[in-house]
Structure 1
């Protein structure tokens, strides 16, 4: 008989996984789109030059494409993992009426949380520093703008299309930091579940020990 019923902590964890999945998809899509607008180049840590005669922005320097591929890969892997976990627990809750999460599963989840938190922290720092470096070059090259976002309205030299470069990089960075926050919450939820599981295990072992020793320690009452 099929049923869908999971502990509320696990349901909260799955909701957070869904949020991380959405953030991963958004980050990967915007990073791919932004990289495509610059002919496959990674604009992070890049530098630009403003041609005053043609009134166009030209890209002078870019970072290695592997930098953007690294961020995209993290976002995609995170989205795939979250989607897989959600599908697994939906499937498990439907076919097993007494589906319980073991200590090994919780330890593996904690390991994945630690790894992804580290990778997301690195990605967020790369995006923040790389975008600030690019904006610094833009603001010093174009005298007529006051913010990096205003450069989206400036004409870029062919084959570059920079009308959404700031929006794209900002969306990727924001998605990564939101994902980082979600994974902090996931880690806390998993830790709580692990403590609950350990408490139940200790309580169960204590009851089992009492049940085993009771026949030996029990003394029949004397009748007068």
Structure 2
């Protein structure tokens, strides 16, 4: 079994945390859809005449998109976690250069979709809450949770669930940013040595004080 380094432990911890965040985000959003009969209430409009009801709702594909992004990022996080554990148990504990390069490209794609998902949740919640306030149904979304809604809606925790989904999405984005930084440093640390013009030093010799000594030579 390879000796666990601090960097590898951090990567494994971030992968596990990102996996949990993705599951929480998808679960919270799915529960909210179920409470509203399968409707996606992001960007929805609300009317009030003694009871609250949705006058319009977003296409369900919008909520499905956010949930799909969360589930896929969780699957990738779980795959990275399993790969890291396998590499620790049966490898040298160090990812090869090709794996790091591919992981960097994948991380950039995931960060983009997580950012889009977080923005959808944030703006969608603001639109819903503004509609509730405009209808004079409640002064806030938190208060609207305690107002009567038409059947068969069960809106006792809709804001809490949406807030949880958004928070999980942005925390997940932060974790993937940290993983991107670690992969970026690892990529340059394990890059093939190349001399600096006129310095007489190779890339690894120049960057060793910053990124470490790099992989051991055979």
TM range (shorter): 0.7 to 0.9
Distance 1:36 1:72 in 2: 13
Contact 2:87 2:94 in 1 (8 A): no
> Which residues of 2 match residues 179-194 of structure 1 at below 5 A?
179-194=172-187
Root-mean-square deviation (Å): 1.5
- 1:87 pairs, out of 69, 77, 82, with 82
Which structure has the highest helix share of the two? Answer: 1
Quick check: 1:15 aligned with 2:13?
A: yes
Gaps of 5+ in 2: 195-201, 203-218
> Which residues of 2 match residues 1-224 of structure 1 at below 5 A?
3=1, 5-51=3-49, 55-96=50-91, 98-143=92-137, 145-198=138-191, 201-202=192-193
Gaps of 5+ in 1: 207-224
Deviates more, 1:7-16 or 1:104-113: 7-16
Q: Which string of whole-angstrom CA distances, capped at 9 and with x for unpartnered residues, describes residues 96-133 of structure 1?
A: 3x243111111111111100110011111111111100
Pick the structure with greater CA Rg: 1
Q: Which string of whole-angstrom CA distances, capped at 9 and with x for unpartnered residues, describes residues 68-88 of structure 1?
A: 000000111111111121112
Contact 1:4 1:90 in 2 (8 A): no
Distance 2:158 2:184 in 1: 39
Shift of 1:31: 0.6
TM-score, length-scaled by structure 2:
0.85
Contact 1:9 1:193 in 2 (8 A): no
